[in-house]
Amino acid sequence: MSILRVALDLPLPRLFDYRVAADVVVGREDIGRCVRVPFGRGEKTGIIVDVVAHSQQPVEKLKLAGAIFRELPPLPAEWLALTEFCSRYYQHPLGEVMALALPPYLRRGKLPAARKEKTATRLPAPSAPSVPPALPTLLPEQAQAVATIAAHFGRYAAFLLHGITGSGKTEVYLRLIAETLAQGKQALMLVPEIALTPQLEGRVAARFPAARIVSAHSGLAEAARARGFVAALEGDIDILLGTRLAVFAPMPRLGLIVVDEEHDASFKQQEGLRYSARDVAVWRAHQRQVPIVLGSATPALESFYHATTPGGRYQHVELTRRAVAEAPPTVRCVDTRREKLQDGMSAALLAAIGERLERQEQSLVFLNRRGYAPVLACPACGWVSRCRRCAANKVVHLADKRLRCHHCGLETAIDRHCPTCGNLDIHAFGRGTQRLEENLATRFPSARILRVDRDSANTPAKWRAVLTAIHEGHADILIGTQMLAKGHDFPRLTLVGAVGADAALFAADFRAPERLFSQLMQVGGRSGRASLPGEVLIQTEYPQHPLYQALVAHDYARFAQSQLEERRQAGFPPFTFQAMLRAEARQLDDALEFLKQAAALANAQLPAGISLYDPVPMRMYRVMALERAQLLVESASRPALQGFLPQWVEQLRALRTSRQLRWHLDVDPQEF
Ligand code: ADP
Ligand code: ZN
Ligand code: ZN
């Protein structure tokens, strides 16, 4: 028992064996510990995943392991199993999975300085009273939801908690967390990247003043992230509130998992290990035999399907009414086909904003396109501000007088004349949030206007400042992208106007309508309180479109069922399972050629029930000077697909061309 089997952060699907010096005692208790090992000409830190007596290589050929990092408890077997599952399921090397799941500090074998100060990991919440606030009396549906879910404590069960914004889902989570803590267990709550607001943190901290709460999100400094992880590893926290990476935090006494806004795209990582934190959380709940609650106003269609199919994977728990406001907002389509719009806005929307200003209420204009205008163009010769590295136009950013590509970040000055024909009369075409801001400022000169998008709120600190400004009523008109749609409580907001939404109706990605519905529903849900009814106006040229009709009727189920029917006919998820092989190269042809070889390999021994599409260029076929193509693999059976992928990926790795370009496999892809 003196050979360490070590996972290293390398793009290779294998482990590495090291021997230990004769005077060093190692045992199975070292499994899950970090170790320094020689690698190539340098050293690396890896994780011991096994301690064995024999290696396939001759022992004398093995290199000698360095120091084992014993200052911390080892990563538990359960954590190793979780990362092994991800490695298998997503076809990603184990060492890389572990490196992602572990904070960089610990990965380098360093301890965060302040680990002994346990309080340092707690949320501040200074104004929190030492006596918990009086709890609201649960509505019957809420009480039922809590009882149903709590009846499953101590074993695995997955619930879809489905209720519109304000229906009291968070209150249900809090009650379940309270019961979990009362049993001496820990709760893990996952939230979308942007929704981790002071509001939610504050609410949790105020409800559990005595609990040890750690918040974990990408805005954290490395040391803070490592401190949170160590506290979790030592069983020193009660509630972990975090974004997708938090799904990998060790929780020795885990009793409950909550995934709020489970449909949110940010739960899926779009690079490296392309995991879905929601799906991994479900696996983890099963592994740990604890209940998991997936909450949403507009569930992912997959989740809705699993919750509404008899014998399906999830139980459907519904909250059908708002907890505080009597009525949901009125939703209306403004038909813009016969109207001459003023700066992209209809008379109805402008009048509605005017009324809000008079009543000192807030309005929000939703436009999911940042920048001033999507393109600068020359009407004389047809020149457009193309990005030279991407299949996209550079966007006009007038605020800082730049043209900027939203795909690769390339920036240039705004051309004064057409670079092709010299024409001085070139224009910004179309409309983004900055232009809307300018237009509204002209029309409502006395209004306080606040634009909220990734340009104006690009750091957590700025984002918090924006939320505070809105909350304290320092803005009359908000202009925002989907950033504003998520999880915030704006007390004086009574009008939401959506402009430019139609573009998503006919997008190539089959999930685009689902995202549009969810965004509009979410953004609409921001408006209206008991005393101040809300109104949502959607400007559209397709007022009869079933998606908008379902929004007007507040009928998610109708929308979901019609979408599911379309997907059933088209053979898309949730009726099939997919994996996408993507390749990128300097020349599109090379990427396509690799995919053709990959397809040939697959077709040579294709198991029954697996189908392969043709390799095609991606819609955004060029990004950062790399040209990209993709190949879709599909099966009606997840086990069949999972059974096919490992051998295929192994063959792909062996292809000579696979080392000449970049490629990856995306299991359960979300973007097309
Ligand atoms: P959701 O998470 O579904 O958006 P919340 O749990 O945040 O809903 O509830 C919306 C608002 O209603 C919050 O201000 C919350 O404090 C309040 N609330 C929730 N449940 C009740 C209840 N049973 N009685 C009174 N107020 C409630
Ligand atoms: Zn020109
Ligand atoms: Zn670009």
Cβ neighbors of 403 (< 8 A, separation 6 or more) are 376, 385, 394, 395, 396, 397, 411, 412, 413, 414, 415
Helix (H, G, I), strand (E, B) or coil at 491: coil
State the DSSP string of 585-606.
ESSHHHHHHHHHHHHHHHHTTP
Ligand that lies nearest to the alpha carbon of residue 410, given by its number in the listed order: 3
pLDDT at 127: 53
pLDDT at 128: 52
Alpha-carbon distance of 174 to 70, in angstroms, equals 37
- The confidence band for 323, taking pLDDT boundaries of 50, 70 and 90, is confident
* Alpha-carbon distances of 377 from 348, 409, 537, rounded to whole Å: 31, 19, 31
Q: Can you tell me the mean pLDDT for 313-317?
A: 98
pLDDT at 490: 81
User: Nearest Cα to 390, choosing from 590, 627, 630?
Assistant: 627
DSSP, res 554 = T
Strands (E), 367-482: 375-377, 395-397, 402-404, 411-413, 427-429, 449-452, 477-480
Question: Would residue 366 be called left, alpha or beta, if left means φ above 0 and alpha means ψ between -120 and 50 degrees?
Answer: beta
Mean pLDDT of the chain: 92
Per-residue pLDDT at 519 exceeds 60? yes
pLDDT at 132: 60
Per-residue pLDDT at 594 exceeds 80? yes
The pTM for the full model equals 0.93
- Which ligand 1 atom sits nearest the alpha carbon of residue 165? 4
Q: Which two tokens stand for residue 540?
A: 């559209």
Q: Can you tell me the mean pLDDT for 275-297?
A: 98
pLDDT at 487: 59
Query: What's the 172 CA to ligand 1 centre distance in angstroms?
Result: 9
Q: Which two tokens stand for residue 57?
A: 């290589």
What percentage of the chain reaches a pLDDT higher than 70?
95
Instruction: Select the more confidently predicted residue: 109 or 642.
Output: 642
Other CB atoms closer than 10 Å to residue 195's CB: what's the count? 18
Pocket flag, ligand 1, residue 480 (CB < 6 Å): no
Angle among Cα 204, 205, 209 to the nearest 5 degrees reads 125
- Best mutation site among 170, 317, 527 for ligand 1, i.e. most ligand atoms within 8 A of its Cβ? 170
pLDDT at 118: 41
pLDDT at 349: 98
Ligand that lies nearest to the alpha carbon of residue 393, given by its number in the listed order: 3
Q: Which domains does the chain have, with CATH numbers?
A: 3-75 (3.40.1440.60), 140-319 (3.40.50.300), 330-370+432-566 (3.40.50.300), 577-667 (3.30.70.600)
Length of the chain: 672
Per-residue pLDDT at 122 exceeds 60? no
Pocket flag, ligand 1, residue 169 (CB < 6 Å): yes
Pocket flag, ligand 1, residue 323 (CB < 6 Å): yes
